[in-house]
A = this chain, B = another copy of it.
Amino acid sequence: MPTITNGRILFNSVPGDLPEPGKTTIYDESQALDLDTVPLNGGFLVKLLEISVDPYMKGRMHATSYEDIIPPFIIGKPLFSFGIGVVLRSENLQIRAGDHLHGMLEHAKYSVQKDPAAFDIIHNPLNLPWSNFLSVLGRPGKVEWLNPLSTNSHLKSGKTAFMAWREFAKAKKGEIVFVSTGAGSVGSLVIQFAKMDGLKVVASAGSDEKVQYMKGLGADVAFNYKTTKTADILRNEGPIDIYWDNVGGATLDAALEAANVNARFIECGMTTEYTDGGNIPVKKLLQIIIKSITLHGFFVDRLCPKWNEVFMNIVPSLVASEKLGFKEETFQGLEVVGHALLDLLKGKNVGKVVVHVAED
């Protein structure tokens, strides 16, 4: 095979409020590569197929951000994020040519990787689009990669919704669940899993368009929390037996007030912690004693060993048969990563953002 041009997205300069494609990140074609002869040194050569673009990537562009948890992007080097790649050649016994991998990958059409433990090999018997493995079938990666502050980022996925629902909801038919951020990548799946279990679903989001989307997913009561008081809705539609919390703060207080005896609270995220500066007070915790409520905090990776097989037996089939609604927003070509990230940070996306880099 002749030498090819290895397109890469390089981090070029620290952005201000928003990244600027072509300035803070640039698409670079200066690297030449012979795929047949590039030295692997015991590693494996990966061709990038799909790459995930997530809000937390902005944080990595600031050298002081998250520095003790996850490394920042380095000027002159490629960005990296979760992606799907196919192995072209391997000198590692655990990884074979043809394997499809999920893991943290450089934003480069081709890269040589060293550590098999950093990747999962994906099995895809139903021939689902590979991008699905970054969205509805995605996993958030190893815990050590995650910054605590990114718990509500789009790293969360279908596994988050499925596994925590199975582990903590203890759902009984006829019970009432409240889902905040119900139009998000996790909440939208929770609505659907709850309906499959026969629950009444009350769901909130921040726009009328999202309210319509949640109703389309089956929510019995969907409302715009910016124009309707959460506490009023819950007073009329509750008491709630389960609360899927993506926001914390005042919404959590409203849910505590509206909780039934023995309610289960699934603490998936607290966006108010990130948007409102952290240490947001919650004032109604006495309710957890009065009503024998249990609050479950979790990271989905800690649930994976127990639930991964069940997930893989159930959810890909639901996706293949179109029984599970979810949204992906696909951008075409590695060169548009900077634009995809900018749109995302401007709030223009309506689903999981994935950049399609190459065909399998």
This chain: copies in complex: 2
Question: Contact at A280–B279, with CB atoms within 8 Å?
Answer: no
Q: Which residues of B contact A286 (CB under 8 A)?
A: 148, 151, 248, 270, 273, 278
Count, chain A residues at interface, CB 8 A? 34
Query: From residue A151, how far is it (CB to closest CB) to chain B in Å?
Result: 5
Q: Which of A70-78, A222-230, A292-300 touches B? A: A292-300
- Asked if A281 meets B282 with Cβ closer than 8 Å, knowing A289-B268, A292-B297, A302-B292, the reply is yes
Q: Are A297 and B289 in contact (CB under 8 A)?
A: yes
Interface residues of A (CB under 8 A from B): 148, 151, 248, 252, 261-262, 267-270, 273, 278-299, 302
25 sample A-B contacts, Cβ–Cβ < 8 Å, listed by A number:
A148-B289, A151-B286, A151-B289, A151-B290, A248-B285, A248-B286, A252-B285, A267-B288, A267-B289, A268-B289, A269-B289, A270-B285, A273-B286, A281-B282, A282-B282, A287-B297, A288-B297, A289-B299, A290-B297, A290-B299, A292-B297, A292-B299, A294-B294, A294-B296, A294-B297
Known: A148-B290, A282-B282. 11 other contacts (CB 8 A): A151-B290, A248-B286, A267-B285, A267-B289, A268-B289, A269-B289, A281-B282, A282-B283, A287-B297, A288-B296, A292-B299
